[in-house]
Amino acid sequence: MYVAVKGGEKAIDNAHAWLAEERRGDVTVAELSLPQIREQLALAVNRVMAEGSLYDPDLAALAIKQARGDLIEAIFLIRAYRTTLPRLGASCPVDTARMAVVRRISATFKDLPGGQVLGPTFDYTHRLLDFKLAAEGEVPAAAMAPTDLADVPHVTEFLNRDGMIEVEPGGNATPPDLTREPMELPASRALRLQAIARGDEGFILSMAYSTQRGYGRTHAFVGELRIGTVAVEMDIPELGFAVEIGEMELTECETVNQFKGSKTEPPQFTRGYGLVFGQTERKAIAMSLVDRALRWAELGEDFTGAPAQDEEFVLMHADNVQATGFLEHIKLPHYVDFQSELELVRRLRSEALAAQEAAE
Asked if residues 196 and 272 have their Cβ atoms less than 8 Å apart, the reply is no
Candidate list 12, 164, 353, 354; residue touching another protein; CB under 8 A? 12
Candidate list 21, 95, 235, 312; residue touching another protein; CB under 8 A? 312
Candidate list 110, 127, 161, 180; residue touching another protein; CB under 8 A? 180
Sheet holding 100-105, edge to edge: 100-105, 220-236, 241-257, 270-277
Round to whole Å and give the CA distance between 285 and 179: 24
Q: How far is the CB of 297 from another protein (least distance, A)?
A: 13
Candidate list 32, 66, 82, 247; residue touching another protein; CB under 8 A? 82
Q: How far is the CB of 277 from another protein (least distance, A)?
A: 17
Candidate list 343, 350, 353, 354; residue touching another protein; CB under 8 A? 343
Is there a cis peptide before residue 186, judged by omega within 30 degrees of 0? yes
Round to whole Å and give the CA distance between 48 and 113: 33
Of 24-32, 121-129, 235-243, 315-323, the window that binds another protein (rule: CB under 8 A) is 315-323
Round to whole Å and give the CA distance between 274 and 233: 21
Candidate list 33, 340, 350, 354; residue touching another protein; CB under 8 A? 340
Does 182 interact with another protein (rule: CB under 8 A)?
yes
Q: Based on the number of CB atoms within 10 Å of its own CB, is 182 exposed (0-12), middle (13-18) or buried (19 or more)?
A: exposed
Does 14 interact with another protein (rule: CB under 8 A)?
no
Does 305 interact with another protein (rule: CB under 8 A)?
no
Amino acid at 178: L
Does 357 interact with another protein (rule: CB under 8 A)?
no
Candidate list 92, 100, 190, 316; residue touching another protein; CB under 8 A? 316
Q: Based on the number of CB atoms within 10 Å of its own CB, is 316 exposed (0-12), middle (13-18) or buried (19 or more)?
A: middle
Does 344 interact with another protein (rule: CB under 8 A)?
yes
Of 23-31, 72-80, 167-175, 288-296, the window that binds another protein (rule: CB under 8 A) is 72-80
Candidate list 148, 157, 184, 235; residue touching another protein; CB under 8 A? 184
**Nearest partner of 78 among 93, 65, 92, 91, judged by Cα:** 65
Of 80 and 243, which CB lies nearer to another protein in the complex structure? 80
Of 169 and 182, which CB lies nearer to another protein in the complex structure? 182
Does 236 interact with another protein (rule: CB under 8 A)?
no
| Residues facing residue 222 across a β-bridge | 255
Of 33 and 179, which CB lies nearer to another protein in the complex structure? 179
**Nearest partner of 279 among 126, 116, 105, 102, judged by Cα:** 102
Amino acid at 70: D
Candidate list 341, 350, 353, 354; residue touching another protein; CB under 8 A? 341
Candidate list 19, 164, 185, 236; residue touching another protein; CB under 8 A? 185
Candidate list 76, 158, 273, 296; residue touching another protein; CB under 8 A? 76
* Binding mask of the shown chain, residues 92 to 131, with x at each position contacting another protein by CB under 8 A: ----------------------------------------
Round to whole Å and give the CA distance between 311 and 292: 11
Asked if residues 103 and 225 have their Cβ atoms less than 8 Å apart, the reply is yes
Residue 340's CB is within 10 A of a number of other CB atoms, namely 10
Round to whole Å and give the CA distance between 82 and 68: 20
**Nearest partner of 315 among 333, 290, 332, judged by Cα:** 290
Residue 188's CB is within 10 A of a number of other CB atoms, namely 12
The terminus-to-terminus CA distance of the chain in angstroms comes to 41
Does 181 interact with another protein (rule: CB under 8 A)?
yes
Binding site for another protein (CB under 8 A): 1-2, 4-9, 11-12, 76, 79-80, 82-84, 86, 179-186, 312, 316, 321-322, 324-330, 332-337, 339-344, 347-348, 351
